[in-house]
């Protein structure tokens, strides 16, 4: 097949080949905008020479799956700023050579942002992208978030502002799309995924970082029924002060993985919504910002490990 160079050429080609048009439209993602789909569609059409027998309705082909995966990787890189191993980057750049995306998004690397003094993040291996706000002992916090000086009078009502959900919703709409694309390229949601890495990379592609808080399991009261063991840790994950998930594990890494898995489950619906909900914190009901899906919930939420809307309590564990 000759390479398709312009949008008019593509439309003309598809108009002359309705079978191809019908086949390729089945691969448009639910969350893809028209701009993203037109670019990825051109990527697929340009590289169909590698699998000339792909247009067989109802028949799966390894070459097709590989081409579709590479098209997702290419689109993730172009539109979301995702990066991959150098060999993969070289391949998709070659396959996408000549495709012009009008008004493409501008992405900055973490190092570029830090070099300009606009963002600081902790160092330390896998925790570079997960701002580890606190780790707690039985009776006191070992560390507290920097720059959290108390500025509110103690008599002032605390909690998220009423307009906070609307302010945070645009970011989580972008994150929803990033997670959806990432899961598609990974073959779908499943138990064998690196849930934390997927969540972390998607959050970073949207220019934010995760906050992970760890608390020893023995220091938690009010655990769900059946969660009676005293060994291990609990992890709570937030982003932009919005609660995303809680996980339990034998160590911090396992707890973080489970919390990430719970957070990713929220993205399996048709949309995610930031809402103000009631949770238990230090034995009291408080209002918290939470990321929720459309599924009805019969049980209460896990107790909060942190409460970012009350400065004198920020960083304290739930005892």
Domain total for the chain? 2
In a domain, 310, yes or no: no
| Phi/psi of residue 284, nearest 5 degrees | -125, 155
In this structure, are 44 and 136 located in the same domain? no
What's the confidence (pLDDT) of residue 227?
52
In a domain, 100, yes or no: no
Other beta carbons less than 10 A from residue 229's beta carbon: 11
Does the pLDDT at position 188 exceed 90? no
In a domain, 56, yes or no: yes
In a domain, 63, yes or no: yes
What's the confidence (pLDDT) of residue 118?
44
User: What distance lies between CA 259 and its chain's CA centroid?
Assistant: 13
In a domain, 101, yes or no: no
In a domain, 255, yes or no: yes
Residue 82: CB partners within 8 Å, gap ≥ 6? 73, 76, 182, 201, 205
What's the confidence (pLDDT) of residue 175?
94
If pLDDT is split at 50, 70 and 90, which confidence band does 57 have? very low
**Higher-confidence position of 29 and 283:** 283
Cα distances (Å, whole numbers) of residue 282 to 98, 201, 305: 58, 32, 8
In this structure, are 134 and 45 located in the same domain? no
In this structure, are 170 and 270 located in the same domain? yes
Q: What is the percent of the chain with per-residue pLDDT over 90, rounded to a whole number? A: 24
Average pLDDT score over the chain: 75
Instruction: Give, as one character, the DSSP assignment of residue 271.
Output: -
If pLDDT is split at 50, 70 and 90, which confidence band does 235 have? very high
List the strands of the sheet with 284-292, edge to edge.
130-135, 210-216, 233-239, 242-249, 284-292, 273-281
Half-sphere exposure of residue 274: CA atoms within 13 angstroms, side-chain side: 25
Nearest of 296, 271, 316, 301 to residue 31 by alpha carbon: 271
In this structure, are 219 and 173 located in the same domain? yes
Residue 222: CB partners within 8 Å, gap ≥ 6? 280, 283, 303, 318
In a domain, 76, yes or no: yes
Instruction: Give, as one character, the DSSP assignment of residue 189.
Output: S
Q: How many whole angstroms separate alpha carbon 318 and alpha carbon 310? A: 14
Structural tokens at position 21: 């048009």
CATH number for position 252: 3.30.160.20
Q: How many whole angstroms separate alpha carbon 274 and alpha carbon 167? A: 9
Structural domain including 259 reads 118-146+157-292
If pLDDT is split at 50, 70 and 90, which confidence band does 6 have? low
This prediction's pTM: 0.53
Nearest of 112, 31, 127, 13 to residue 72 by alpha carbon: 31
């Amino acid at each position: 097949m000759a390479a398709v160079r312009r949008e008019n050429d593509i439309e003309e080609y598809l108009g002359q080949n309705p079978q191809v048009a019908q086949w390729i439209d089945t691969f448009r993602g639910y969350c893809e905008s028209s701009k993203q789909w037109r670019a990825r569609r051109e990527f697929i059409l340009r590289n169909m020479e590698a699998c000339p027998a792909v247009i067989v309705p109802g028949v799966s082909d390894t070459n097709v799956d590989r081409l579709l995966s590479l098209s997702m990787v290419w689109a993730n890189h172009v539109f979301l700023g995702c990066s991959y191993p150098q060999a993969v980057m070289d391949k998709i750049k070659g396959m996408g050579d000549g495709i012009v995306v009008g008004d493409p998004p501008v992405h900055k690397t973490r190092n570029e942002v830090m070099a300009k003094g606009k963002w600081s993040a902790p160092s330390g291996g896998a925790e570079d992208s997960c701002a580890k706000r606190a780790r707690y002992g039985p009776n006191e916090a070992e560390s507290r978030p920097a720059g959290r000086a108390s500025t509110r009078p103690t008599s002032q009502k605390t909690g998220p502002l009423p307009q906070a959900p609307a302010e945070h919703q645009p970011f989580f709409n972008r994150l929803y799309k990033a997670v959806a694309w990432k899961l598609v390229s990974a073959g779908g949601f499943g138990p064998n995924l690196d849930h934390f890495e997927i969540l972390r990379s998607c959050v970073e592609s949207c220019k934010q970082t995760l906050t992970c808080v760890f608390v020893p399991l023995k220091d938690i009261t009010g655990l769900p029924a059946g969660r009676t063991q005293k060994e291990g840790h609990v992890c709570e994950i937030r982003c932009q002060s919005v609660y995303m998930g809680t996980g339990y594990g034998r160590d911090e890494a396992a707890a973080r993985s489970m919390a990430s898995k719970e957070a990713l489950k929220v993205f399996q619906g048709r949309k995610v919504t930031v809402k103000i909900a009631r949770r238990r914190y230090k034995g009291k009901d408080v209002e918290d910002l939470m990321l929720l899906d459309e599924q009805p919930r019969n049980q209460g939420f896990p107790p909060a490990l942190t409460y970012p809307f009350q400065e004198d309590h920020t960083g304290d564990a739930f005892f």
